[in-house]
Structure 1
Amino acid sequence: MREHILLVDDETDALEELGELLEGEGFHCHCATNVASAMACMATWPDIALLITDLRMPDESGLRLIHNLRAMPRYATLPIIVMSGHADMNDVIGLLPLQVVDFLPKPIYQERLIEVLNQRFPVPQVANS
């Protein structure tokens, strides 16, 4: 298994599809449908290496989640990818000071996401015996 990734999206179908895609690439995915459950996952799974979150969700936004995490020294440099089907330029500009790794519009261009993840977490090479 490759790195642990936390996926956060209030759309459960999209969340499951993304989880299946990334697990097919060897990642271990944890899923949350809101900010509260995402924070609980972060506490439960300390080895999460990257967060992929939707920007706009009911209750609290992905932006609130990112602010919560950045306020904690442990997650100040956690790599974060933001996705949204409804973001505008002000949303994207607001992400810049939060050191977001990438912004992906929804629907997700899967090849681009895999490319970003493989650059950050290269596929382990199996040594020949």
Structure 2
Amino acid sequence: MPASPPREQLLLVDDEEEALNELAELLDGEGFRCHVATSVKLALQQLTRHPDIALVITDLNMPEESGISLIKRLRDHTAREYLPVIVCSGQIDSVVAGELDRLQVQGVFRKPIYHTRLLDTLSSLFPLDEVQEKLRAVP
């Protein structure tokens, strides 16, 4: 039985490597191709290496540069200004929420992430076609 074709490529950005790898494993299991980065600098390098990345999932609070900084850089870059972004963070106050709304993020998830809700969001952004659904249903 041929493996189902991979779904979209995602970039996961989080300085907590254990959480990053857990999320990558979950999403890989759902057919997404995940690239990971532990900083904004590495995320930008991944975006250059993999121009077909269709969505970024980023943490906000990272030591060197914040997830908001990453999103602003994406919005200022002509080729990536409309790249969908989902934010995952343990702390989001009303000021940050307002900034994220202004930056047009696709979703905001509090850590720890409720995986079912995230998968529902990704499925609505990137629905499986009928062939992919049938291939995924076969054991």
Partner of 1:80 in structure 2?
85
1:93 and 2:110 are equivalent in the alignment: no
Partner of 1:61 in structure 2?
66
Partner of 2:25 in structure 1?
20
The one of 48, 51, 59 aligned to 1:46: 51
Q: SS in structure 2 opposite 1:50?
A: strand
Q: Aligned-pair distance for 1:88?
A: 1.3
Q: Aligned-pair distance for 1:97?
A: 1.2
The one of 114, 122, 126 aligned to 1:121: 126
Distance 1:26 1:69 in 2: 25
Distance 2:8 2:129 in 1: 11
Distance 1:117 1:125 in 2: 17
What residue identity is the alignment partner of 1:125?
E
What residue identity is the alignment partner of 2:29?
G
- Where has structure 1 moved over 2 Å in runs of 4 or more? none
* Structure 1: unaligned runs, 5 residues or longer: none
TM-score by length of 1: 0.96
Partner of 1:6 in structure 2?
11
Q: SS in structure 2 opposite 1:126?
A: helix
Q: Aligned-pair distance for 1:65?
A: 0.4
Q: SS in structure 2 opposite 1:68?
A: helix
Aligned length: 128
Distance 1:18 1:124 in 2: 23
**Aligned-residue identity in percent:** 50
* Structure 2: unaligned runs, 5 residues or longer: 1-5, 135-139
TM-score by length of 2: 0.89
Q: Aligned-pair distance for 1:124?
A: 2.6
Structure number with larger C-alpha Rg: 2
